């Protein structure tokens, strides 16, 4: 992340000069986040268009209908009932929801088309407004000078040289890939052999080579498109006189437009530093550029102007040229802006996926997979860059303060974004209600910063084994996985919390977050850390990280103090195993003390408590690692935590087998997996203690580190088991009531929905005037009689113990049988043309409908009576 205010890191001289652009700046990912946030606004605009049209009225009507028929839930309804009721509702509303989703996507398309259209006319507008014209033969010297610099820089196609009117005083670039142009001020053109020409043109050519032109103008084009589109709801609301949504909409839209503008300017400022550094690769060129910057008479803007400025101050640019390490210093503001954008994007993406039942299963994972790598590439890449600069400049280690700054930025940005997302417009959930939810969300996502920082330090210490490209790819991949995992988990938990409170969130944590794909992610991260720790740490930085024009590496390596060492692989593995063993020992003591579980519910309670013990063992490793190894410990924790969780789970399995429990691979996997995943998530939370001024990676005695981890693991395990009633409350048991509830809230609504669908089929067949009688008979048998028979067969298999409910169920069975018989009579009547039979069929149909209605009434009465 390019720093905005490089600050005052003073370096002793002589210093090795880091090759700062060997690891690219994370401005590309910041730009992609910006575009994603702008495009996601299109989702809102599309939804708004939908709601304003007649289609929106139909959608509302359908949802009202589904809501009115939604089976009510008892106050103590369990997760299964909640999910079943929600599934029923989604199926009911599916057609309308699909239409809504298409409108939302249309909004994105509209934003893209508008943005691209603006982008396409930008060069024409620029040429006209800035009165640009080709240089022409009189100014051939400037044209050829520019072409020579373009060739020297390696551009395949030289940008076109344009000259502006005498009002143009600063050079700039514009155009599209392959058709770029550089607008030169006349004062520069006429001095093409002067000292300013080379630095300025090299700087502009660097912009073109680094695709800054496309980034800058597309960010602006999409911003204009979104600002206009977001203004439309305000104007329409005012015209229609319905401003009820404006209070919740206006500030969110304004904040989004404002933040994207500031973020865009921040990205451009960072790209200016990069263009300076990449264009001035020799001391001679740096001196020329610094001299030119020294002539700048531009006044430093005030605070707000500084936030919107597209160029850093000349003093800051000179400082970065002098010491490029400053460029690696990440800014908490940039992190906050990126996190804000991620935070506003996530709920909008989730809402689109959650809208359509057929893709609801992907509602949390796909947005996380899309946004996570962008956050990883933004925050993680910054930290990996710091880590590699720390290897070059060994006098100071800046990774810990950098991680704390980024943590603060991500936390603030994600927190604000959680309230400001357009997905919350019109939400019935108040901001105050959401405070704990959004806080948890922000803490989790910000916590991922420390994990990324910890892995960055490990990778930095092993960077000599990698090329710059591999190092960069590793930064993006591993940080992206960390952020995607945390975003997925936090969004899943907080959304379920939003939906039905902590009771559902607790179930989702245990049942949904612990699925096999999540465990695979944890294992991949653990394997990556294992591989890093297995590599030999090198005291000297890789050659690609050092400017080749500085003194030879061996001399520096000999002179420089050895960088702080992360914990050894053996220590990390032993620490994980010891902590897991300590937790397992606590379980053994507990089991010996309290004896076997009494009944299924207590078995479930213990299983859940043990799962939290396994997870807690993982988190306990991080406590010790962070205390003794600082930020590096968070990275090592990604390996130690799953080792501890697996060890404690295997210890439990051994104990369970000893007490006579059966063992199978499925059982082992089922016991180990949840603890591993939850352990990793607790690790994220525990790593937040890195906000404290922890010691830098020290040379603490491994035995002490392991011992502390084991003690903490044992304490966590003991505490979890002692508080098991709070961790996993025993359900209030009433099996009869559960069976009745299962029937009225689960089974009955599904039958009801199926019957409603059959009603629609009947209406469709009745309205079909093109089919012959025989064809109609065929349709009746295939589309009505057969499904009714299936329903009847299913109903016959349903066992009901409750006496009054059994009576109702018998009415249902009778109704289904009557209806099936009636429609079969219709079919025969159509085939034979027997009018009397058709009349009988009508009578039978009416009877069947009455029976079904009676069943519905009795079920509704049962629901109303609890």
Partner 1 sequence: MTNERITLPPAEERELVRTLAQHVLEVRAPEELVLFDESADEFFADPERVLAAGGRDEAVGFGVELALLTPFVLAVVTPVVQLLVNMIGAAATKHGQRSVDDLVRRLLRRPSTDSSNADAEPPPVLSADQLALVRTVALDRSRTVGLPEDQAALLADAIVGGVAVAGTP
> Which residues contact partner 1 (rule: CB under 8 A)?
138-139, 165-174, 185-191, 196, 200, 203-204, 207, 212-213, 216-217, 220, 268, 271-272, 292-293, 295-298, 309-312, 314, 317
Shortest Å, Cβ 165 to partner 1? 5
Which residue, 306 or 810, is less far from partner 1 as judged by CB? 306
Q: How far is the CB of 309 from partner 1 (least distance, A)?
A: 6
Pick 218 or 540: Cβ nearer partner 1:
218
Least gap, CB of 204 to partner 1 (angstroms): 6
Number of neighbours of residue 823 by Cβ within 10 angstroms: 27
Closer residue to partner 1 (CB): 108 or 181:
181
d(C-alpha 484, C-alpha 469), whole Å: 22
Taking the complex as a whole, how short is the minimal distance between the CB of residue 610 and partner 1, in angstroms? 58
Determine the Cα–Cα distance for residues 760 and 767; give it in Å rounded to an integer. Answer: 11
Nearest distance from residue 287's CB to partner 1, in Å?
Answer: 15
Which CB, 95 or 305, lies closer to partner 1? Answer: 305
- Specify the residue, 337 or 646, whose C-beta has the smaller distance to partner 1: 337
Nearer residue to partner 1 within complex by CB, 170 or 790: 170
Question: Where would I find the H helices in 562-659?
Answer: 569-594, 599-629, 631-658
- Please name every residue paired with 293 in a beta bridge, in sequence order, or none if there are none: none
State the minimum distance, in angstroms, from the CB of residue 170 to partner 1: 5
Cα of first residue to Cα of last residue in the chain, in angstroms, is: 58
Q: Quick one: 205 or 459, whose CB is closer to partner 1?
A: 205
Q: What minimum distance in Å lies between the beta carbon of 91 and partner 1?
A: 50
Whole-number Å distance between alpha carbons of 717 and 618:
11
Q: How far is the CB of 340 from partner 1 (least distance, A)?
A: 22
In a 10 Å sphere around its CB, with 0-12 CB exposed, 13-18 middle and 19+ buried, how is residue 449 labelled? buried
Nearer to partner 1 by Cβ, of 120 and 243: the residue is 120
Least Cβ distance, residue 9 to partner 1 (angstroms): 23
Cα separation, 295 vs 291, in Å, equals 7
Of 223 and 249, nearer to partner 1 (C-beta) is: 223
Are 551 and 14 contacting, i.e. CB atoms less than 8 angstroms apart?
Answer: yes
CA 66 to chain centre: 31
CB of residue 295 vs partner 1: minimum separation in angstroms? Answer: 7
- Give the nearest distance from C-beta 200 to partner 1 in angstroms: 5
Q: Is the dihedral of CA 598, 604, 605, 607 positive or negative?
A: positive
- Comparing CB distances to partner 1, the nearer of 166 and 756 is 166
Residue 261 in tokens: 């503008």
What distance in Å separates the CA atoms of residue 717 and residue 835, rounded to the nearest whole number?
77
DSSP 8-state symbol, 515: S
Burial 600-633 (b: 16+ CB within 10 A, else e): eeeeebbbbbbbbbbbbbbbbbbbbbbbbbbbbb
Which of 587, 590, 462, 595 is CA-nearest to residue 531?
462
Helix or strand holding residue 772 (H, E): none
Nearest C-alpha neighbor of 392 from the set 450, 340, 446, 468: 468
Sign of CA pseudo-dihedral 221, 226, 229, 230: negative
Q: Which is nearer to partner 1, 169 or 179 (CB)?
A: 169
Complex with partner 1: residue 245 or 314, whichever CB lies closer = 314
3-state secondary structure of 341: helix
Q: Tokens standing for 233?
A: 């709801």
Min CB(240)–partner 1 separation in Å: 37
Query: How far, in Å, CA of 503 to CA of 501, rounded?
Result: 6
343 burial via Cβ count (<10 Å: 0-12, 13-18, 19+):
buried
CB of 264 to partner 1, least distance (A): 9
How many other CB atoms are there within 10 angstroms of residue 433's CB atom?
A: 12
| Cβ-based nearer residue to partner 1, 136 or 670 | 136
In terms of Cβ atoms closer than 10 Å to its own Cβ (0-12, 13-18, 19+), residue 526 is buried
Nearer to partner 1, 317 or 606 (CB): 317
Instruction: Give dist(CA 117, CA 113) in Å, integer.
Output: 6
Question: Residue 197 CB, nearest distance to partner 1 (Å)?
Answer: 10
Residue 189 beta carbon to partner 1: minimum distance, rounded to whole angstroms:
8
* Distance between CA atoms of residues 610 and 616, nearest Å: 9
Nearer to partner 1, 62 or 285 (CB): 285
Enter the tokens of residue 355.
């809208």
CB 312 within 8 A of CB 347: no
Of 34 and 504, nearer to partner 1 (C-beta) is 34
What is the C-alpha to C-alpha distance for residues 798 and 793, in angstroms, rounded to an integer?
A: 9
d(CA 801, CA 741): 12
Write the DSSP assignment of 150-205 as a string of letters: HHHHT-SSPPEEEE--TT--S-EEEEETTEEEEEE-HHHHTTTTSTTHHHHHHHHH
**Residue nearer to partner 1 on the CB measure, 119 or 475:** 119
Identify whether the C-beta of residue 387 lies closer than 8 Å to the C-beta of residue 26.
no
| H or E, element range at 134 | strand 133-134
C-beta of 160 vs 311, nearer to partner 1 = 311
Helix or strand run (H / E) with residue 262: helix 246-279
- Number of C-beta neighbours around residue 208 at 10 A: 24
Beta strand 179-184 with 160-163 is parallel
Closest distance of CB 473 from partner 1, Å: 27
Minimum CB separation of residue 292 from partner 1 in Å reads: 6
Calpha distance 822→826 (Å, rounded): 6
């Amino acid at each position: 992340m390019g720093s905005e205010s490089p600050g005052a890191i003073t370096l002793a001289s002589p210093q090795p000069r880091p090759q700062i652009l060997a690891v690219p700046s994370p401005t590309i990912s910041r730009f992609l986040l910006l575009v994603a946030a702008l495009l996601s606004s299109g989702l809102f605009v599309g939804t708004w268009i939908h709601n304003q049209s007649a289609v929106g009225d139909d959608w509302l009507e359908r949802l009202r209908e589904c809501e009115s028929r939604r089976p009510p839930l008892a106050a103590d309804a369990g997760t299964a009932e909640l999910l079943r009721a929600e599934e029923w509702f989604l199926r009911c509303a599916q057609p309308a929801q699909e239409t809504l989703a298409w409108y939302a996507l249309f909004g994105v398309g509209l934003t893209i088309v508008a943005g691209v259209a603006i982008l396409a006319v930008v060069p024409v507008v620029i040429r006209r407004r800035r009165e640009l014209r080709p240089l022409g033969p009189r100014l051939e010297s400037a044209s050829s000078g520019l072409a020579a610099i373009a060739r020297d820089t390696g551009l395949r196609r030289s940008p076109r040289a344009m000259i502006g009117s005498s009002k143009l005083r600063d050079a700039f670039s514009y155009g599209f890939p392959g058709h770029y142009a550089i607008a030169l001020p006349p004062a520069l053109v006429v001095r093409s052999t002067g000292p300013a020409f080379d630095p300025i043109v090299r700087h502009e050519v660097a912009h073109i080579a680094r695709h800054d032109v496309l980034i800058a103008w597309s960010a602006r084009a999409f911003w204009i498109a979104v600002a206009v589109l977001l203004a439309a709801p305000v104007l329409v609301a005012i015209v229609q006189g319905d401003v009820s949504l404006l209070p919740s909409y206006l500030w969110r839209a304004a904040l989004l437009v404002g933040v994207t503008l500031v973020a865009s300017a921040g990205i451009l400022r960072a790209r200016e530093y990069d263009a300076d550094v990449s264009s001035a690769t020799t001391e001679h060129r740096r001196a020329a550029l610094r001299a030119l910057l020294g002539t700048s008479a531009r006044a430093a803007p005030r605070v707000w102007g500084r936030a919107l400025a597209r160029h850093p101050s000349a003093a800051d640019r000179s400082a970065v040229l002098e010491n490029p390490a400053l460029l690696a210093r990440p800014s908490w503001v940039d992190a906050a802006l990126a996190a804000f954008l991620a935070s506003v994007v996530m709920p909008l993406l989730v809402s689109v996926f959650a809208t359509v039942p057929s893709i609801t299963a992907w509602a949390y994972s796909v947005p996380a997979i899309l946004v996570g790598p962008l956050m990883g590439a933004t925050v993680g890449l910054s930290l990996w860059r710091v880590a590699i600069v720390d290897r070059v400049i060994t006098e100071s280690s800046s990774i810990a303060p950098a991680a704390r700054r980024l943590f603060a930025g991500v936390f603030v940005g994600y927190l604000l974004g959680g309230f400001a997302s357009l997905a919350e417009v019109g939400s019935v959930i108040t901001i105050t209600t959401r405070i704990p939810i959004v806080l948890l969300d922000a803490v989790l996502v910000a916590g991922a910063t420390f994990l990324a920082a910890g892995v960055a330090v490990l990778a930095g210490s092993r960077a000599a084994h990698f090329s710059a490209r591999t190092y960069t790819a590793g930064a993006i991949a591993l940080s992206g996985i960390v952020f995607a995992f945390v975003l997925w988990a936090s969004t899943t938990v907080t959304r379920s919390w939003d939906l039905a409170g902590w009771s559902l969130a607790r179930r989702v944590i245990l049942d949904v977050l612990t699925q096999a794909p999540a465990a695979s992610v944890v294992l991949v991260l653990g394997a990556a850390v294992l591989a890093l720790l297995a590599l030999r740490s090198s005291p000297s930085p890789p050659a690609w990280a050092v400017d080749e024009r500085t003194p030879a590496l061996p001399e520096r390596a000999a002179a420089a103090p050895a960088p702080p060492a992360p914990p050894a692989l053996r220590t990390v593995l032993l620490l994980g195993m010891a902590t897991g063993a300590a937790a397992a020992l606590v379980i053994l003591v507990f089991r010996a003390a309290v004896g076997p579980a009494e009944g299924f519910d207590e078995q479930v309670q213990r299983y859940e408590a043990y799962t939290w013990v396994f997870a807690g063992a993982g988190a306990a490793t991080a406590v010790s690692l962070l205390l003794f190894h600082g930020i590096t410990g968070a990275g090592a924790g990604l390996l130690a935590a799953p080792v501890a969780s697996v060890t404690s789970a295997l210890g439990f399995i051994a104990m369970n087998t000893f007490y006579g429990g059966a063992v199978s691979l499925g059982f082992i996997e089922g016991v180990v997996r949840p603890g591993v995943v939850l352990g990793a998530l607790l690790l994220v939370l525990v790593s937040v203690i890195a906000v404290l001024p922890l010691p830098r990676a020290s040379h603490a005695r491994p035995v002490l580190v392991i011992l502390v981890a084991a003690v903490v693991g044992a304490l966590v395990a003991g505490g979890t088991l002692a508080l098991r009633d709070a961790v996993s409350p025993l359900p209030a048991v009433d099996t009869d009531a559960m069976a009745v509830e299962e029937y009225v809230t689960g089974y009955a609504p599904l039958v009801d929905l199926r019957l409603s669908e059959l009603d629609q089929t009947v209406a469709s067949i009745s309205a079909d005037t093109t089919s012959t009688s025989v064809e109609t008979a065929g349709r009746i048998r295939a589309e009505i009689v057969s499904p009714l028979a299936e329903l009847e067969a299913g109903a016959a298999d349903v066992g009901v113990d409750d006496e009054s409910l059994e009576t109702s169920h018998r009415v249902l069975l009778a109704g289904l049988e009557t209806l099936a018989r009636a429609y079969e009579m219709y079919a025969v009547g159509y085939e034979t043309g027997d009018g009397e039979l058709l009349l009988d069929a009508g009578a039978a149909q009416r009877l069947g409908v009455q029976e079904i209605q009676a069943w519905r009434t009795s079920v509704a009465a049962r629901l109303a009576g609890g």
